[in-house]
């Protein structure tokens, strides 16, 4: 928000962040809030981790639609082609689907049909694993508020960590093969 010749002007992005729009309200009374919750200092006691049960029939069907997937693995420009292939592998194991950010789409890492966000699809999975995603508001606008958001990013200052319920600061290209192996082992042991 800014003042321009005495008028209040709000700027917002459109078309996936490719266009900036200035909005001039008719009235001058405006309320804007950001980071309304205070930061907290202290220690948090974590109980035993919650287990997410996965329906075995969903695991067998690897063609889950993005909009109805119980688990979505969203990839960003922090990944490469091999990283997106790893996401596909993991999605197949857990009966999920792969989504992508606009920058990843623009780089040709995923088809437009996989785009999640303001100018893409709106998803409401039980779990959304954001991998190599910075966490722009445009992307987060495509994820339902009841979704458990988890993140993997090698940038400790990535905005995604402010919104994620839990996060891992790591290079996703190194972590994804390990994650896939652990899931395969656990699913094999559960049979």
CATH number at residue 177: 3.40.50.1220
Same domain for 153 and 102: yes
Residues 24 and 102 in one domain: no
Query: Domain range spanning residue 24?
Result: 1-31
| Entry pTM | 0.69
Encode pLDDT of 25-79 as tens digits. 666 655 666 555 566 666 766 666 665 554 444 333 346 899 999 999 999 999 9
- Of 35-39, 161-165, 185-189, the poorest mean pLDDT is in 35-39
- Judge whether 167 and 148 are in contact, CB under 8 Å: no
Residue 118 lies in a domain: yes
Task: Out of 29-33, 82-86, 150-154, 162-166, pick the least confident.
Answer: 29-33
The pLDDT of residue 73 is 98
Query: Is 151 inside a domain boundary?
Result: yes
Specify whether the CB–CB gap between 149 and 104 falls below 8 A.
no
Same domain for 164 and 130? Answer: yes
Q: Are residues 62 and 101 in the same domain?
A: yes
Domain count, the chain: 2
3-state secondary structure (DSSP) of residue 169: strand
Kindly state whether residues 88 and 172 are assigned to the same domain.
Answer: yes
Q: How far is CA 128 from the centre of its chain?
A: 6
CB 143 within 8 A of CB 159: no
Q: What pLDDT, on the 0 to 100 scale, is given for residue 88?
A: 94
What tens digit of pLDDT does each residue of 78-100 get? 999 999 999 999 999 999 999 99
- 110 assigned to some structural domain: yes
Q: Which two tokens stand for residue 16?
A: 């996936």
**DSSP characters over 28-43:** S-----SS-SPP--S-
Q: What percent of the chain is modeled with pLDDT above 70?
A: 73
pLDDT the model gives residue 188: 79
The shares of helix, strand and coil residues in the chain, as percent rounded to the nearest 5, are 30, 25, 45
Q: Which of 17-26, 108-117, 149-158, 162-171 has the lowest mean pLDDT?
A: 17-26
Q: How many CB atoms lie within 10 A of CB 15?
A: 12
Residue 111 has pLDDT above 50, yes or no: yes
């Amino acid at each position: 928000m800014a003042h321009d010749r005495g008028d209040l002007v709000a700027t917002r992005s459109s078309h996936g962040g490719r266009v900036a729009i200035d909005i001039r309200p008719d009235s001058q009374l405006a309320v804007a809030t950001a980071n309304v919750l205070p930061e907290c200092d202290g220690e948090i006691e974590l109980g035993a981790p919650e287990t997410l049960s996965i329906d075995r029939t969903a695991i067998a069907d690897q063609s889950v639609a993005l909009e109805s997937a119980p688990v979505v693995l969203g990839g960003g420009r922090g990944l490469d082609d091999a990283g997106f292939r790893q996401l596909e592998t993991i999605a197949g194991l857990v009966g999920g689907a792969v989504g992508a950010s606009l920058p990843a789409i623009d780089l040709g890492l995923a088809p437009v049909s996989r785009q999640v966000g303001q100018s893409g699809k709106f998803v409401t999975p039980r779990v959304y694993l954001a991998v190599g995603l910075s966490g722009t508001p445009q992307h987060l606008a495509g994820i339902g508020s009841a979704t458990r958001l988890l993140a993997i990013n090698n940038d400790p200052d990535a905005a995604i960590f402010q919104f994620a319920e839990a996060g891992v600061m790591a290079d996703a290209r190194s972590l994804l093969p390990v994650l896939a192996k652990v899931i395969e082992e656990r699913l094999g042991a559960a049979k």
